[in-house]
Chains A and B, each alone.
Chain A
Amino acid sequence: AQKITQTQPGMFVQEKEAVTLDCTYDTSDQSYGLFWYKQPSSGEMIFLIYQGSYDEQNATEGRYSLNFQKARKSANLVISASQLGDSAMYFCASSKGSSNTGKLIFGQGTTLQVKP
């Protein structure tokens, strides 16, 4: 079965430094998508970044970039120049196969705390 693993339950980073949140995935599909979401303490899920399995370039969105290593099945999120507002829970997710149902499998999440 498809599975997303986030091995870091909690992370700390100093304000203005970069931080990498790990994500590995397990799928036998050739075509899939990888997503990262941010969940602040208020509870809403905020979409951050997407990487398609056939995309050769790593995705970037502002201060967020996705370090995609297909052979290792990893899709780590890099946040540059951390801000206090980045403190939140972060979830990695993948779409299930090539069908366009939009169903996502989520990891357990990593709690990030940014220190001033």
Chain B
Amino acid sequence: DGGITQSPKYLFRKEGQNVTLSCEQNLNHDAMYWYRQDPGQGLRLIYYSQIVNDFQKGDIAEGYSVSREKKESFPLTVTSAQKNPTAFYLCATRSGFYNSPLHFGNGTRLTVT
């Protein structure tokens, strides 16, 4: 099946620990994105990558880090520096065509206590 896989669906961590969220795709899309969603809110862009070995900060990158070593994978690390990490995290991909839509994974719900 072609698609975007985010794992795990639910993740629990203690405050002060780094945690890495996985995002894998087999759509052969060049671009990948990480968005954060807080309850009752819209999505905000954390990081994005348009090509392997390159990525850019989005609107709320502080406290997060990413890597893009393979086309298929774009893991997001939520560091202990992120002040309010509890949220729903969505990974997306996109083909390179102008204004082509984002395709989203099913999301990871992170709870930090």
Cα distance A104–B48 in the bound complex, in angstroms = 11
What are the 6 tightest A-B residue pairs by CB atom distance, in nearest-first order? A106-B42, A33-B99, A45-B104, A47-B101, A102-B94, A106-B43
Q: Which residue from chain B places its CB closest to the CB of A99 in the assembled complex? A: B98
**B108 to A: closest C-beta gap in Å:** 9
Binding site for B on A (CB under 8 A): 4, 33, 35, 37, 42-47, 50, 52, 91, 93, 95, 100-104, 106-109
**B42 and A102 contact, CB distance less than 8 A:** no
Contact of A102 with B106 at beta-carbon distance under 8 Å, contacts A47-B101, A50-B101, A95-B99 already known: no
Binding site for A on B (CB under 8 A): 31, 33, 40-45, 48, 50, 58, 88, 90, 92, 94, 96, 98-107, 109
**B101 and A108 contact, CB distance less than 8 A:** no
**A100 and B98 contact, CB distance less than 8 A:** yes
**A91 and B33 contact, CB distance less than 8 A:** no
Q: Which residue from chain B places its CB closest to the CB of A108 in the assembled complex? A: B42
**B50 to A: closest C-beta gap in Å:** 7
Report 7 cross-chain contacts, Cβ distance below 8 Å, ordered by A residue.
Answer: A35-B101, A35-B102, A37-B104, A47-B101, A50-B99, A100-B96, A101-B48
Contact of A44 with B41 at beta-carbon distance under 8 Å, contacts A100-B96, A102-B31, A102-B48 already known: no
Q: Which among A43, A44, A52, A95 has the highest number of chain B CB atoms within 10 Å?
A: A43
**A109 and B98 contact, CB distance less than 8 A:** no
Q: Which residue from chain B places its CB closest to the CB of A92 in the assembled complex? A: B42
Q: Kindly list chain A residues whose C-beta atoms are within 8 Å of the C-beta of B33.
A: 102-103
**A4 and B98 contact, CB distance less than 8 A:** no
**B106 to A: closest C-beta gap in Å:** 5
**A102 and B100 contact, CB distance less than 8 A:** yes
Contact among B41, B92, B102 for A109, CB-based, below 8 A = B41
Q: Which residue from chain A places its CB closest to the CB of B94 in the assembled complex? A: A102
**B106 and A44 contact, CB distance less than 8 A:** yes
**A47 and B42 contact, CB distance less than 8 A:** no
Q: Kindly list chain A residues whose C-beta atoms are within 8 Å of the C-beta of B101.
A: 35, 47, 50
Q: Kindly list chain A residues whose C-beta atoms are within 8 Å of the C-beta of B40.
A: 108-109
Q: Which residue from chain A places its CB closest to the CB of B48 in the assembled complex? A: A103
